[in-house]
Amino acid sequence: MARKWLRNGVLAAALTVGSLCGGLVPNAFARDYAAAGNIQAQGTVAAAQLPREAVNTLNLIAAGGPYPYEKDGIVFGNRERLLASHRRGYYHEYTVPTPRARNRGARRIVCGGPLQQTDNCYYSDDHYTSFKRIVE
């Protein structure tokens, strides 16, 4: 059972909340916390307010590539459960290059629905800890 909680990332989040509350989180609270985890993104961001690299990535998504990173376009599993639940394969992730980063960095765009569609995309600048829905 503990592995299931760890795999879903819920136990770590529940323990963090519990430590902020001064102790361990009771099992019932941890289950409620997990159920509440299926929420939409935290706010929105206008496409014009995104970093230049994110706008370039959105343009590549709309064009169908080519993408600069091998993992761009792979299925995003939504294990963090911060986006609405959908069948596996609904969400795809794309790298937003980070200037001066030696690797892919922490910035991503995740889009739901058909490939090359950018009207259901989310921006994360903290490697999936939070998301903002991209609006025109």
80 included as an active-site residue: no
Distance separating alpha carbons of residues 109 and 98, to the nearest angstrom: 13
Short-list 44, 46, 47, 55, CA closest to 97: 55
Distance separating alpha carbons of residues 83 and 66, to the nearest angstrom: 26
List the catalytic residue out of 53, 80, 93, 136.
Answer: 93
Residues near 135 by Cβ (< 8 Å), separated by ≥ 6? 44, 45, 46, 47
For residue 132, the cross-strand partners are 123
Short-list 1, 15, 119, CA closest to 62: 119
List the catalytic residue out of 53, 92, 127, 136.
Answer: 127
136 included as an active-site residue: no
CB 98 within 8 A of CB 127: no
Catalytic sites, residue numbers: 93, 127
